[in-house]
Structure 1
C-alpha cells in the first residue's frame, strides 16, 4: 500500500469454520440480531417462514462447509423451473435468506464463499397485477347477505379493504379509537404497519356509512378492536381471507383469486382509473417508493393523447 494513501482497506472477516456449526445454528444467532433491531413481528415471521422453505428444499441439516453458492442458486432454479413460481414469489423467499447469508459471510466469517453476491433476486418482468373488474366486485359484495352477522362483517371488510387499500394485517389491528367517522379517516398506528410508519387512510361516504352501522352493531362486545368474531374476539387475517374466498365462490368468480391483497390492488387500480393521482395513491398505500404505483398506472392503458389534450403544460400557460 502506498505510504501517502488515505484509503482504508476493509479487513476480511476471520473465518471460523467449524464442523459443529450448522446452518440452523447460524440462523438462530442471526435472528437474535434481527429481533434486537426492533423489527415488526410480521417481518420476523417472514424471516422464519422463508428459512423454512429453504430447509425444506435442502431436506436435512447442513454444516457451514456444505453451504455453497451452487446449493443456493440451485434452489432458485428449482423454484422457477420445477415449482413454476412467479419471479415475485421467488424474490420474496430469496430476500431474507440473502440477508442471512450476507451476515454469515461479512459479519461473522462463518462461510468461505460470498454466496449472497450470486444468490440475488431475479429480474421480474413488469406484469399486470391481479385485480377484479367493477362487475366482479359488485358480484362479490352482492354475494354477502346483510341478514347474517358474519356475512355483513365480510361486506364491511370488503368495502374497507377496497376503499382504503390497507393490508389485511392492518385491517385486523384497527381499533375503534382509530376510526374517525366525522373526518372520514382511519388512523393506522406505526406498530401495525408493514414499514413501521403510521398513516391516515381516507374513507368514502359509502364506506363510512356501512362501517358506522357495523360499529353500532358491535358496541355490545366492549372490545378495543373493530373487526370481531361472533364471540367478540379479535378477528384473524385467516378469517378475512376465508370469508372472501367463500363469497367469491358464491359470486362464481372462478378465474381469479379473491383475497385481501387482490382487493388492495383492485382499489389502487380503480383509484387511478377514476382520476386519482399517483402521489396521493402512494401515500394512501404507505409505499416508500413509486415502483408499485407505476404498475397501476401502466395497467390503466390510459389514452395518452387525450390526457395530454386535457392537461398540456401550454393549456396551463395560456388558460383563460
Structure 2
C-alpha cells in the first residue's frame, strides 16, 4: 500500500474541506489515490463536489482583449506573484491578448506570431525571461466571436486594465441595442466568474465527468438500502441536479438568486429590441488544473550555496 503522508492528507483537506481523520481514512481506503479518495469522501457525504479545475496554484496573469465582435483571452504563467505585478510582464500579457485576436487559440501559432516591434512572441518571451530573471510560459488562449452582436470582456479583481486572475468573455448574438447587450454581457460575465459553470448547456457537460458523478450517486443510492426502482430514481435525480447546477443556462443568476440564466437572456431580448442568444463563453482562472510544487526555501538556498540546511536555533 502507498505511504500516506501528511502532505497528501493536507492536500486532500484543502481540496475537499473534509476533516483530517476522514481524509486519512479515505487515502488509506483508496491506496493513496488522490482522485479516488475525493470520490470516496463524496460517496460518504464528507466532501463537496470538486470542480473540474481543482485548486488554483500557478502565478502569472490572465489577459483579455476585444475588438469589434471578436474577443481573446490568454494565460501567461510565471514562477511568483511578484512578476505578475511587473509592468514589463503586464505589457507582454496585454499585447499577447491582442495578438491572439488575429492568430486564434492555437498556442504554437501564437508563439510564432509576429511581435509588434519585430521578432516573434516566443522571442519576446525569451527576452523577458532573461531581463526579468524568472521563468515564464504562454500556457493557453481562447477566442470567441459573433457575426452580429457583442463580445463582452470582464476581469475579476483586475490587477491592471484587462489583466487579472480570472478573465471572462461572453458572446451574445443579436441585432438588438448594443448598449443593452453590453450591459447584459457584463452581468453574465460577472456571474460566470463567480459561479464557474462547466458548460453552456447540460448536454454539453463532459461525458466522463457525468459518468463519474453517476458512479458516486449509484454507490450512495446502493448504501441507502432503498428498493432498486427508488435507487434508480435517486441516481437520475442526482445527475439532473448536477447538470442543472453546472450548466450555465440552467444556473440561478447570482445577481438576484432566483432567475435562471436562460430566463435572464430571454427577458433581455425584450429590452434590447431583438432576440438575444448566448452563443458562447470562456472563463480562464489563473493556474486552474496546475499544482504548484511546494518547496523548502531554506533547503534550496543551502543547496545553491553548496552547504547543508542549517539546523533550527534552540
TM-score between the two structures when normalised by the length of structure 2 = 0.28
Give the strand-richer structure, 1 or 2: 2
Q: Which protein shows a greater Rg?
A: 1
Give the helix-richer structure, 1 or 2: 1
Q: Relative contact order (C-alpha < 8 Å, sep 6+): which is higher?
A: 2
